[in-house]
Amino acid sequence: MKHSFVDRFAELESPLHLLDARTKLIGFIALAAAVLYIPPGNSVAFFAAFFLLAIFAGISQIPLPYIVGRTLVILPFVLLAALAAPWGGKDGWTRLAVLVLRSTLCLLVLILLTNTTRFVELLRGLRKLGCPRILVVNLSFLYRYIFVLSDEIMRMRQARDSRRVGRVAISTEMKTLGSMLGTLMVRSFERADRLYQAMVSRGFSGEFPVAAPRSFSWRDLAFIAVVALFIAATVYL
């Protein structure tokens, strides 16, 4: 597993990257919701949305191959879900296409959000928007320890594979998986214990201290204005 899969392009310095995390969270989510409210007949609005996202993608300096690649990876799942929907009747294909397009636009929004915001900043933004502290702390631990765990899994896999020849029966596969999970779980418990000791040694008493606040800038207002304008446009046009 690539170790920087989350933040690969979050270290860039585009105007979008410099926005406060709160702005991006609210702005992008509102944008996604707006896209979902566009009536399917309104092609102009869809093109406007796509245009806007393309502009944002350009400003963000995230490499295009990555955006396209990421979209293509998720697309099969969207298509699968779409094909389960009831089709038939006139314009079946057009409507299918619109369904997929809606989903893809929202996916683009998500890609933009997560790749223009450093994870630490994202967490801070979530916290300031009222997300429960414990959830933010959990996300922070997940981020920190997922690499450690994936290394452990990789090593376990290698150990397992080097002791295996040819095809394996399902039942053996299951048993091995069960042992791997069990071992991982025991290690997780032990790690949690040691973590607790370390936290408590540094004065932890159940409450997490608040971090220093960040300030808004004109860029944040500009971004919000653009998104609001778009939403207003789709509603009235």
Partner 1 sequence: MSDYAVRITRLNYSYPDGTRALENVDCDIRTGERVALVGPSGAGKSTLLLHLNGILKGSGTVRIMGQTVADGDLAFIRKQVGLMFQDPNDQLFCPTVQEDIAFGPLNLGVPAAEIPARVEKALRDVMLDHSYAGRTAHHLSHGERKRVALACVLAMEPSILALDEPASNLDPGTRRHLIELIAALPATLVLGTHDLEMAIDLCPRTIVMDGGKIRADGETRLLFADAELMAKHGLEVPLSLRGNHR
Partner 2 sequence: MHIPDGFLTNRIALSMDVLSGATVLLAAHRLKLESAMRLIPMMGVFSSFVFAAQMLNFPVFGGTSGHLVGGALVGILLGPMAGLLTMATVIIAQALFLQDGGLVALGANLFNIGAVSVLIGYTVYRLFGSPEAKGKRLSAAGFVAGWFSVVVSAAACALELGLSGAVPLKVGLPAMAGYHAVIGLVEGGLTAGVLSFLVRARPDFLKKEAAPRFGFWDGVGGLILVAIPLAFLALAGSSSLPDPLQALLPEPVAGAVEQESILSPGRADDLNRVLLYIGILVVGAIALLAARRLTSRGRPS
- Give ∠ CA 166-183-178 in degrees, rounded to 5: 50
Overall residue count recorded for the chain in this entry: 237
3-state secondary structure of 91: coil
CB of 188 to partner 2, least distance (A): 5
Choose from partner 2, partner 1, none: what does 90 bind? Cβ within 5-8 Å by kind. partner 2
Dist. CA 224–CA 19, nearest whole Å: 10
**Paired tokens of 213:** 């606040």
Residue 145 as a binder of partner 1 (CB under 8 A): the answer is yes
Q: Do the beta carbons of residue 43 and residue 95 sit within 8 Å?
A: no
C-alpha to C-alpha distance for 102 and 45, rounded to whole angstroms: 11
Q: State the amino acid at position 141 in one-letter form.
A: F
- Judged by beta carbon, residue 162 or residue 201, the one nearer partner 1 is 201
**Could you tell which of partner 2, partner 1, none binds residue 209, using a CB distance below 5 to 8 A set by kind?**
partner 1
Site for partner 1 in 180-209 (CB under 8 A): 191, 194-195, 197-205, 209
Interacting residue with partner 1 among 133, 144, 157, 187 (CB under 8 A): 144
Indicate the SS3 state at residue 33: helix
Stretch 133-162 residues interacting with partner 2 (CB under 8 A): 133-135, 137-146, 148-150, 153
Around Cβ 109, how many Cβ atoms within 10 Å? 23
User: What is the contact mask toward partner 2 in residues 172 to 201, using x (rule: CB under 8 A)?
Assistant: -xxx-xxxxxxxxxx-xxxxxx-xx--x--
CB of 123 to partner 1, least distance (A): 7
> How far, in Å, CA of 54 to CA of 66, rounded?
14
Query: According to CB under 8 A, which one of 49, 57, 109, 227 is a site residue for partner 2?
Result: 109
CB of 206 to partner 2, least distance (A): 5
Binding residues for partner 1 (CB under 8 A): 3, 119-120, 123, 140-141, 143-145, 147-148, 191, 194-195, 197-205, 209-212
